[in-house]
Structure 1
Amino acid sequence: MKIAYILGEFPCLTETFIEREIEAVERQGVEVIVFALRHGEGESALQQRKLAAGQLFYRPSFMPRRLPSLTVASAYWLRPLMLLDSWLAMQAAPYFARVMKEQGIGHVHAHFASLPGTVAWAMRRDAGIPYSLSMHARDIFVKDELLGEKLKGAEFVVTCTEFGRRYLCERYPELPPDKLATVYHGLPLAQYRRAGLPRADEPIILAAGRLIEKKGFELLIRACALLRDQGRKFRCQIVGEGEERGRLEALIADLRLQEAVELVGALPHDEVVKRLDAATVFVMPSVIASDGDRDGLPNVLLEALAMEVPSVASNVSAIPELIRDGETGLLVPPR
């Protein structure tokens, strides 16, 4: 059996769970061909293996342009940036469909219902290739005028949390309930063994995620100021990169926390695991962003618990599906 995975970016430092999924599917005897809308930064072992095997295709830089369909244009006409992004992504659909036909691919699975889902939907409409969707967080909670069409056209839809599945069922009651299923992200637990206990004389508070509003890192930084004012000794490391870096750097400076709080930047996955191994506590201060975006179940939180790192997190969306307050971690109200 041969199937295709459509990804927005490959490889992607914050989406290593997709690589683990592809490898798990392949262990079941299924051949997976990867199609990506853009190159990610860096390399991964899976990417190199797929390139060598001729099982990885990127959207070409130059392609014939076609006008957006009436459905897409009418869905996004009040959101020009979304219309432009969708139109650019859909230029890949004819090329991807042709390659899939040549490869004998009979099914497409798109990770994220946003642009990858739009491409899969367009290929079904234009080339009759059936597709399914994996949905995670932003693609569930942030308004997308075309999402109903993409859900209706999919063979099935997978969410990585029960909270996300229920949210979609309530928002789209016309969908058959058995069309949506919850499949949690798994971990190869043998790879998450702690080498030893962290240093007691220098506690390390670790957080990780993209530097965006929904991650709530502003709250963590302000909490660090309270700890400093109480005379607590600690170091706080925030791993990740994103659009909020400038604002967070300014906040750290305003609160005079330069010696205590470090914005580490993006790191390869194995380096994040090393940071977890050295951490005293892991913090996930998630919030609901102004546009409705929120975390589903952050994979790095799974990794922290797998390594037995004491964890504190907001009780936002699906996080209580993982952490039992007072038993497997601590939950606090957002903000």
Structure 2
Amino acid sequence: MGRTIGVVLKSYPRLSETFIAQEILELQRAGFDLELISLRHPTDKAQHPIHREITAPVHYLPEYLHEEPLRVLSALYACLSKPGFAPALSAFLRDLMRDFSRNRIRRFGQGLVIAAENAPRLAFLYAHFIHTPASATRYGAIIAGLPWAVSAHAKDIWTTPAWDLREKLHECRWCVTCTRGGRDELASHASNPDKVALVYHGIDLARFPATSTHSVRDGSDPHDPLRLLTVGRAVAKKGIDTILEALALLPQELHWQWTHIGGGPLKADLVEQAARLAIADRCRFLGALPQAEVLETYRDSDLFILPCRVDETGDRDGLPNVIVEAQSQALAVISTPISGVPELI
């Protein structure tokens, strides 16, 4: 057993998860030895500067077991003789009876690889997100006989079955989450509610220094319109379609320009919606941008809008870091009373 902490992530690096990168960097600065273990390769082509400051090695697990069968079989062979294999297999089979899915099988296979390849160097496992990363972490920890903990965030809390939450919270050493509502929900499933702690993410103010300049735009000048901003992935829980509907209702004499920063599967639908509402000439969809460009856009804006909501799957935000970032730049924020938003506004 080593001295290193294995940090298990769904994907790394990821532009939309700067809060995770910031935590990893601060752990690194505090002197912890880290090894990053990612369930899949990144889909983002760009990186933030903070990712280049993180020096911990990154190990990628087989995302789909059939793509690396020899690696998975080798891990299985290495784990068969471990005392924790039988308890882990028993836990997996119980889980599979309640969640008979390829996803569940993948997590056990990834847990095997964690136990065989990573665990000999590790003293502790720490998962970000209590759904799939915690599942792989849990199986790997049982096999290797390692303690483990988890940081829960938003979607993972509200879309994970109650039985899965109960068992993970019973077995992990501790769990942290970033909103009071999330903490209360997790604590309600925990045999020991004291295991669940509220820890806000915060931001590094060195990366978001306060600005002393403030706009005086009021929407009366057609040559210098009011600048409205939304930062966030184009997914249902962000409520961006609601923004477009609201913008279309603004009086014609009010001059404004709205900018969206972020990728996501609904982006094309939103572009089409803006055209249908006849406001496309006032809307900019910039896609995902590096953090420095996002900061510059915050500073050049007058109002930040993010009408978070609960989507049809139960997914919702926790406490969106983009709201914290916007407020750090003295931007007024319009949002909705979802999850942790009222804890900040």
TM-score, normalised with respect to structure 2: 0.84
Give the corresponding residue for 2:84: none
Q: Contact (CA 8 Å) 1:281, 1:310: kept in 2 or not?
A: yes
Q: Give CA-to-partner distance per residue, 1:37-60, whole Å, 9 cap, x none.
A: 12212345565566xx67221114
SS at match of 2:142: helix
Residue 124 of structure 1: aligned partner = 141
Q: Which residue of 1 aligns with 2:117?
A: 99
Bigger mean CA offset, 197-206 vs 119-128: 197-206
2:72, 2:113 within 8 Å by CA — same for their partners in 1? Answer: no
Matched letter for residue 118 of structure 2: M
Aligned residue in 2 for 1:295: 317
Please give the alpha-carbon distance, in whole angstroms, between the structure 2 residues aligned to 1:282 and 1:134: 28
Q: Is the 8 A contact 2:170 2:192 kept in 1?
A: no
Q: Report how many residues are paired.
A: 312
**Residues 1:270 and 2:272 aligned together:** no
Q: What secondary structure does 1:291 align onto?
A: coil
1:157 partnered with 2:175 = yes
1:79-94 equivalences in 2 (<5 Å): 83-94=101-112
State the distance in 1 between where 2:107 and 2:270 align: 32
**Aligned partner of 2:244 among 221, 227, 232:** 221
**Structure 1 SS opposite 2:313:** coil
- Give the Å deviation of 1:247: 2.4
Report the CA distance shift for 1:47/1:57 in structure 2 as closer, same or farther (over 3 A).
farther
Corresponding letter in the other structure for 1:110: A
Which residue of 1 is the match for residue 18 of structure 2? 16
Q: Distance in 2 between matches of 1:277 and 1:175?
A: 46
Secondary structure class of the residue paired with 1:8: strand
Pairs within 5 Å for 1:23-34: 23-34=25-36
SS in 1 for 2:16: helix
* Amino acid of the structure 1 residue aligned with 2:102: L
Q: For residues 197 and 98 of structure 1, do their structure 2 counterparts lie closer, same or farther at Cα, with a shift above 3 Å needed?
A: same
Alignment of 1:109 onto 2:117: no
Query: 1:132-151, aligned counterparts within 5 Å?
Result: 132-144=149-161, 146-151=164-169
Instruction: Give distance in 1, aligned partners of 2:150 and 2:31.
Output: 21
> Structure 1 stretches (4+) deviating beyond 4 angstroms?
44-50, 65-68
**TM-score normalised by length of structure 1:** 0.87
Moved more, 90-99 or 130-139: 90-99
Aligned equivalents of 2:57 and 2:144: distance in 1? 20
For residues 133-212 of structure 1, the aligned pairs below 5 Å read: 133-144=150-161, 146-170=164-188, 172=189, 174-192=190-208, 193-194=210-211, 196-198=213-215, 200=217, 201-212=224-235
Contiguous gaps of at least 5 residues in structure 2:
77-88, 218-223
Q: Spell out, residue by residue over 1:265-293, the C-alpha distance to the aligned partner (whole angstroms, 9 max, x if none).
A: 11222221121111111111101111111
Kindly tell me: are residues 236 and 140 of structure 1, through their superposed partners in 2, closer, same or farther at Cα, counting changes over 3 Å?
A: same
User: Aligned AA for 1:119?
Assistant: A
**Aligned residue number for residue 64 of structure 1:** 72
Query: For residue 270 of structure 2, what is the aligned residue in structure 1?
Result: 248
Query: Could you tell me which residue of structure 2 aligns to residue 73 of structure 1?
Result: 96
Alpha-carbon displacement from aligned partner over 1:156-181 (angstroms, at most 9, x marks no partner): 000011111012223x1x52121000
Residues 1:71 and 1:195: Cα distance change in structure 2 (over 3 Å):
farther
Q: How does 1:302-313 map to 2 (within 5 A)?
A: 302-313=324-335
Identity %: 30
| Alignment CA distance shift 1:215-1:88 (3 Å) | same
Higher mean C-alpha displacement, 258-267 vs 153-162: 258-267
Local SS of the residue matching 1:226: coil
| Counterpart-to-counterpart distance in 2, 1:22 and 1:158 | 15
Q: How many Å apart are 1:102 and its aligned residue?
A: 3.1
SS at match of 1:13: coil
* TM-fit CA distance, 1:87: 2.1
Letter of the 2:107 partner, please give it.
Answer: A
Cα 1:59–1:314 shift into 2, 3 Å: same
* Residue pair 1:47, 1:56 contacting (<8 A) in 2 also: no
Whole-angstrom distance in 1 between the partners of 2:49 and 2:108: 28
Which moved further from structure 2: 135-144 or 54-63? 54-63
> Structure 2 vs 1, CA of residues 290 and 86 (structure 1 numbering), >3 Å: closer, same or farther?
same
Aligned partners of 1:75 and 1:146 also within 8 Å: no
Aligned partner of residue 267 in structure 1, secondary structure: coil
Q: Please identify the structure whose Cα radius of gyration is greater.
A: 2
Q: Deviations over 1:186-217 (max 9, x none)?
A: 21213213263346232111001111111000
Partner of 1:305, secondary structure, is helix
Q: Is the 8 A contact 1:195 1:277 kept in 2?
A: no
